[in-house]
Amino acid sequence: MDDSPASIARDIAAVSRISAVPSLLRIVCDNTGMRFAAVARVTDGTWTACAVEDQINFGLLPGGQLDVHTTLCKESRAARQPVVFDHASTDPTYATHHTPRLYNIESYISVPIVRPNGDYFGNLCAIDPSPNQLSNPKTVSMFQSFAELIGRQLDVEQRQEATETALLDAQATAELRDQFIAVLGHDLRNPLASVGAIGEILARREDDAAVARYGQRLRATTQRMSHLIDDVLDFARARLGAGMGVRIEAVPDLQAALRQVVGELRDAHPDSQIVEQYRLFGVVECDVGRVQQLLSNLLGNALAYGGNDQPVGVDVSLDQGWLSIAVANGGEPIAAANLDRIFEPFWRPVESAPGGGLGLGLHICAQIVRAHGGTLQVRSARESGTCFTARLPAIQGPAASTAA
**pLDDT tens across 347-365, in order?**
766 656 555 556 678 888 9
Q: Is residue 213 part of a domain?
A: yes
> Residue 142: which pLDDT band, with cuts at 50, 70 and 90?
very high
Number of domain units in the chain: 2
Q: Is residue 110 part of a domain?
A: yes
192 shares its domain with 339? no
Q: Of the residues 181, 216, 238, which one is the last residue of a structural domain? A: 238
On whether the CB atoms of residues 183 and 12 are closer than 8 A, the answer is no
Check whether residue 208 and residue 289 sit in a common domain: no
**Looking at the domain assignment, is residue 321 inside a domain?**
yes
Q: Is 91 helix (H, G, I), strand (E, B) or coil?
A: coil
Average pLDDT value for the chain: 85
Q: Are 264 and 382 part of one and the same domain?
A: yes
Which structural domain range is residue 90 located in?
5-238
Residue 258 sits in the same domain as residue 287: yes
Angle at 354 between CA 351 and CA 359, to 5 degrees: 75
Q: Is the dihedral of CA 163, 166, 169, 172 positive or negative?
A: negative
State the pLDDT at residue 41. 97
CA dist 132 to 85, 136, 138, Å?
Answer: 9, 11, 14
Q: Of 212, 238, 264, which marks where a domain is finished?
A: 238
The pTM (predicted TM-score) of the whole model is 0.48
Domain of residue 388, CATH code = 3.30.565.10
58-92: per-residue pLDDT in tens? 999 999 999 999 999 999 999 999 999 999 999 99
Look at 372 and 305; give whichever has higher pLDDT: 372
Residues 215 and 267 in one domain: no
- The DSSP call for residue 353 is P
Mean pLDDT of 127-144: 95
Whether the predicted pLDDT of 402 surpasses 90:
no
- Taking CA atoms, 393 is separated from 32, 37, 284, in Å, by 56, 55, 8
Mean pLDDT of 282-304: 91
pLDDT the model gives residue 339: 84
Residue 320 CB burial class (10 angstroms; 0-12, 13-18, ≥19): exposed
Which pLDDT belongs to residue 351?
A: 58
Q: How confident is the model at residue 198 (pLDDT cuts 50, 70, 90)?
A: confident
Residue 244 placed within a domain:
no
Per DSSP, the chain holds a count of helices (H) and strands (E) of: 11, 13
> 243 in a domain, yes or no?
no
312 CB-near residues (< 8 Å, 6+ apart): 272, 273, 274, 275, 299, 302, 303, 306, 327, 328, 329
pLDDT at 271 (0 to 100): 86
Contact partners, residue 363, CB within 8 Å, separation at least 6 = 235, 343, 344, 345, 346, 347
Regarding whether 392 and 271 lie in a shared domain, the answer is yes
Burial code of 205-222, b = ≥16 C-beta within 10 A, e = fewer? beeeeebbbbbbbbbebb
According to the 3-state scheme, what is the secondary structure of 281-296?
CCCEEECHHHHHHHHH
- Distance (Å, whole) CA 266 – CA 30: 28
Q: Residue 401's pLDDT band (boundaries 50, 70, 90)?
A: very low
Is 217 found in the same domain as 261? no
Q: pLDDT tens-digit profile of 203-259?
A: 888 888 888 888 887 877 776 677 667 666 666 666 655 567 788 999 999 999 999
**Same domain flag for 210 and 294:** no
Q: Which is higher by pLDDT, 357 or 292?
A: 292
Please compute the mean of the pLDDT values over residues 170-192 and round it to a whole number.
Answer: 64
* pLDDT confidence of residue 400: 43
Instruction: Say if residue 324 is in the same domain as residue 187.
Output: no
